[in-house]
Structure 1
Amino acid sequence: MRRGKTMGPALGVASAVLVLNVPAPAHATADRPVLGDVQQAIAEVAKAYGVVGAIGEVYVDGKRWDKGTSGSRLLDGKGGRIPSSSRYRIASQTKLMEATVILQLVAEGKISLTDKLGDVLPEMAENDYVERADEITVAQLIRHTSGIPEFIDSGQFDVFDFTTAYELIDLVKAARTVPRQSDPGEYRYSTTNYVLLGMIIERVTGNSRATEFNQRLFAPLGMKDTYLATKVSDQIKGPHGHGYHPDVNGAPRDVDQLNATIGAEGAISTARDVSAFYRALNKGTLLPADLQRQLPRPFPNLCGGTVSSAAGGMPGITSTTFSTTDGRIQFAVAATLKIDNEQAMAVGDAITKAAEAVLCPDQ
């Protein structure tokens, strides 16, 4: 049995995104559940090939229960440890926040899940910016079943371009140059879906995505250290770890600044704040139950099918938040990298093992 921590109140845990009634995990007793040691788990993550530094925090009922940090803030062991409370880019976890905002607009009757893209954003059909825009629904955009290609596959964007400012429509136009590989109704992951959802948010509300995220999520949930990066050369504010991405010669190059106008994954957060989001989402305070079921499905379950995760990756960073559906426990992990994200599968595996060691130490 791994060294663990005991907690007083009984905790029922379940899948991270959909609210389900499931039994308590096998490692928990009725009154004293056990969690594994976070520092030990994070130290194992930092040993994975390509990791510069790793941080993680566990929250129970909104209070930090344990924390860990290992590796270094800068490359080659420099800069000391990254504070576990540091900000980091949550990358594709931003999509779940954006989907939540869209579904709130559905709940308010401002749009419908069955609305066609060509009706909500008429220029997509009129100017042929999106193929078959008159068939694609809002629901299909949310669930990556629109068949719209990934704009990154156009080859038009450079990781190290910190000067060119793009509009969201520029990304959509780039996606139009990529051959379609699936039809509406078929699953194929594409960030372009969320670029278009961002445009819908702005069209329907008359506000920027950043404003809507702040008003609907960050401010109400007390996510005081979270913001949506929107600038062409954004650097993370405050203490944080630096990530690196291989240049054309394979040498790691600092990507502490990233062009936030390339993509729709710009949220910068902390373990505390991102845990607050999942806690609220899973307690049902952000969406009605029927609309919550429209969110993208979570990654495969852990701990005997009682815990799920949401992950994201960008140049220089990978992050995952593990959560329980009752909203009581979150484990947020981030690792800065010096390798390409496509080479970082072992890092993802190490993070999953860390979650298992922390959230279900008896299994």
Structure 2
Amino acid sequence: MFLIAAGISAIALGGAGAYALSRAARTSRQPLNPDEAAAHLDAYFSKAFRVGKRQTSLQVLIDSPVLSYRHTAGSLTAAGGAPVTDNQPFHAASIGKTFTATLIMMLAERGDLTLDSCIAEYLPAETLSSLFVWDGKDHAREVTIRQLLGHRSGVADYFEGPVREQPSFQTRVIENPDELWTPEKLLDFSRHNQRAVAAPGARFHYSDTGYILLGLLLERVTSVSLGTLLRREILAPLGMNDTYLLFDRDAPIPPDEPPLQDIWLDGVEISRFRSLSCDWAGGGLATTPEDLIRFQKGLSGGALIRAESLSEMERCAHKFRNGIHYGLGMMEIRFEGFFPLLRGMPRLKGHIGVLATHMFRDPATDTYVVMNFGSTDAMVPSFRALFHIMQTLQRIRLGQT
């Protein structure tokens, strides 16, 4: 997730960005009522979309005790420029990792697996072959499910990791739009074109490859496809009727399904590319803002897993980059890591995606936020927007004291 890391680092840099955050921190002392806050956010997001680069849509949904807010802007290339609707489906990107992790926790609660079991107990040797070779030794039989969930297995990252031979994976996705990526092909990319980065447990290294292995493990344990498992265990119980796994083997997308919002990867719009099959268990969901709110409420409210399992997912002990820590398929945002004057801001639980997609919850105030900027070039603006939302909610609470 180097694109995300680069964007986050840019937020924390000095100069104009630091000045803007410092000024925003001072402004946070000025109270707002809910109507004023909504108008303030409308002006903020209208400007953010107007000046955004390589971005053709924007969705924001806030569900908080002090404010219910929605902002939608943009158009759909796939629909001839038709406007984006409030609940238009979009590519969730790595937000999907939280769904995969939740399925693992559900199976662990049922006794179908244990987090500290070695993945070699569930997956055949040919699936793991050459993926965990470090310092001349194959560590495949040492890797645990917990290490895959927490990105500490040592396996490479096919999506953004370095490759032995060019082109990079992302370039291949763009230059070969008709290529269908199966889970096996994704593993082969890492197997033949990358190297492991460490021995299991030695370091944190964000890896989409690891989540492909988790998806295969889920299928092996349950004897059903990942798409079927998602529908049966999460989507149907929570009423997430507008969410589905892209390129699901068992459920092709109906022809009348609304088109995805535009997806800008390195300046190329790829929403209709077959090569978009490159995410799968690492983030291959199409979803909507309302459905992601349903998921967060179901997850935090005990509809899917027990409170102790959620606490384990949210125990973010490993630093990803300044401002972001990682647990098991879950991120924690620590704003003070971006800029010291932001100390005291709430710590948010959830996940982000490389397309500047956000799904976060503030446990202290029962607040839920979903955003989709739909572009790898929008990561910095999306994080500034997340801060701006939380600051605005604080200003409403200030006005109510």
Q: TM-score under structure 2 normalisation?
A: 0.70
* 1:230 and 2:212 aligned: no
- The 2-side partners of 1:204 and 1:272 are apart by 31
Which residue type is aligned with residue 332 of structure 2?
A: F
1:207-250 deviations in whole A, cap 9, x for unaligned? 1111111111111011111111126998993155323344xxxx
User: What amino acid does structure 2 have at the position aligned with 1:319?
Assistant: T
Paired residues of 1:168 and 1:261 also in contact (CA < 8 A)? no
Aligned to 1:244: 264
Out of 251, 256, 260, the residue aligned to residue 271 of structure 2 is 256
Aligned residues: 322
Structure 1 position 164, deviation (Å): 2.6
C-alpha contact 2:270 2:276 (8 A) present in aligned 1: no
Q: Please state if 1:187 is matched with 2:204.
A: yes
Percent of aligned positions that are identical? 21
3-state secondary structure, aligned to 1:100: helix
**Is the 1:35–1:359 Cα contact (8 Å) retained in structure 2?**
no
- CA distance change for structure 1 residues 156 and 74 in 2, over 3 Å: closer, same or farther? closer
Instruction: Determine helix, strand or coil for the equivalent of 2:369.
Output: strand
C-alpha deviations, 1:60-83, integer Å up to 9, x for none? 47xx922112344449xx835422
Q: Aligned partner of 1:261: which letter?
A: S
Q: 1:236 & 1:146 partners in 2: Cα distance?
A: 41
Where do 1:315-330 residues align within 5 Å? 317-325=355-363, 328-330=366-368
1:33–1:281 distance in 2 versus 1, CA, 3 Å: farther
Q: Distance in 2 between matches of 1:241 and 1:358?
A: 27
Residue in 1 aligned with 2:323? none
Q: Distance in 1 between matches of 2:305 and 2:122?
A: 22
The answer as to 2:180 corresponding to 1:147 is no
Taking structure 1 as reference, are residues 109 and 344 closer, same or farther at Cα in structure 2, changes over 3 Å only? same
1:336 to 374, 378, 382: 374
- Name 2:23's counterpart in structure 1: none
TM-superposed deviation, 1:189: 0.4
- What amino acid is aligned across from residue 51 of structure 1 in structure 2? Q
Match of residue 109 from structure 2 = 107
2:292 aligned with 1:267:
no
Question: What amino acid sits opposite 2:152 in the alignment?
Answer: T
| Amino acid paired to 2:173 | V
Aligned to 2:18: none
In structure 2, distance between residues paired with 1:204 and 1:143: 20
Does 2:385 correspond to 1:351? yes
Say whether 1:56 aligns with 2:60.
yes
| Correspondence for 1:306 | 346
Q: Structure 1 residues 285-294 or 32-41, which shifts more?
A: 32-41
What is the root-mean-square deviation in Å for CA atoms of aligned residues? 3.3
Distance 1:219 1:79, change over 3 A: same
Note the C-alpha offset of 1:129. Answer: 4.6
Classify 1:33/1:325 alpha carbon distance in 2 versus 1 (closer, same or farther; 3 Å). Answer: farther
Residue segments in structure 1 that go unaligned for 5+ positions in a row:
1-25, 247-251
Corresponding residue number in structure 2 for 1:121: 123
What whole-Å deviation, never above 9, does each CA across 1:166-213 have from its counterpart, x for those lacking one?
Answer: 331222222123122222112110111110000000000001111111
Aligned to 2:87: 85
Conserved 8 A contact 2:334-2:347: yes
Give the structure 2 partner of residue 162 of structure 1. Answer: 177
**Deviation of 1:34 (Å):** 8.9
Counterparts in 2 of 1:358 and 1:241: CA distance versus 1, 3 Å: farther
Distance 1:111 1:306 in 2: 34
State how far apart, in whole Å, the 2-side matches of 1:35 and 1:109 are.
50
Task: Give me the whole-angstrom Cα distance separating, in 1, the residues matched to 2:247 and 2:75.
Answer: 27
Cα contact 2:187–2:209 (8 A) shared by 1:
yes
Deviation, structure 1 residue 323: 1.4
CA deviations 1:291-320 (Å, max 9, x no partner) are: 223323423245834341534435xx3211
Return the structure number with greater helix share: 2
SS of residue paired to 1:284: coil
Find the aligned partners of 2:124 and 2:222 in 1 and give their Cα distance.
16
Secondary structure in 1 matching 2:70: strand
- Which range moves more in the overlay, 255-264 or 194-203? 255-264
Offset at residue 358 of structure 1 (A): 4.1
Q: Is the 8 A contact 1:113 1:138 kept in 2?
A: yes
Q: Does 1:204 align with 2:221?
A: yes
1:361 counterpart SS class = helix
